[in-house]
Amino acid sequence: MKRTLFVLFFFFTLSLSRVLVVDSYASMEIDAQGIVTKVVDGDTLDVSNFGRIRLADINTPESDEAGYYEAKNYLSSLVYNEFVYIDKDEKLDPYERFVCVIYVRWNTTHLLNVNKALLLKGVAKISNYPNEFNPASWNLYIYSPTSRGGSGGGSNGGGTNDEGGNGDGGGSNGIPSELLLLVIALLGILLLMIILDALGK
């Protein structure tokens, strides 16, 4: 009986860990890549060999509104002259701009979701327009295509510690996936020990 419980908990912990890692990666599609050549404002930018991008489902202040320069400068600090990965919606916005979530390299294994970073910094607000994206499902960090055997490249780029993480990884809300896996494994072991102890009495 004890052996059966141990095997069941082992596979449960392993399966849950795999689900967390796959979920953080599968939420992103790479439709294009390029270098940011211009930051127009806090939610609009130009990418080489691609075109003008309107960041999906967020809104930052206009040029005559308070917070305009804070948003624009923060976006510039993340992506200007940096190599970015682009996940675009199928439709253009009314101004013929691509509607996208973009990612910039955070470290050797993870990318930073720029849309999410702007929200967490407090320089943008959610504006959930009709498109394929859902801000509620965004992770701050995701696995890089290069760390999963895909294509990629670019800079050492982007981000500051103000975005809710330390730059080491990629679970939801900026919690590293590796830390999540460790916590889940420890909880599984702890629960198993409690059950085995109860059965032994």
**E-assigned strands of 56-137?**
58-59, 83-92, 98-105, 110-113, 125-126
Segment 139-158 mean pLDDT:
60
**E-assigned strands of 7-159?**
32-41, 44-47, 51-55, 58-59, 83-92, 98-105, 110-113, 125-126, 141-143
Contact 56, 129 (CB under 8 A): yes
C-alpha triplet 194, 199, 201: angle, nearest 5°: 100
Please state the domain extents for the chain. Answer: 29-139+147-167
Q: Please provide the CATH number assigned to the domain covering 29-139+147-167.
A: 2.40.50.90
Residue 52 dihedral angles phi and psi, to the nearest 5°: -90, 135
Contact 51, 38 (CB under 8 A): no
Instruction: Please state whether the predicted TM-score (pTM) of the whole model is above 0.85.
Output: no
Least confident of 6-10, 32-36, 92-96, 122-126: 6-10
181 versus 30: which is more confidently predicted?
Answer: 30
Is 61's pLDDT higher than 60?
yes
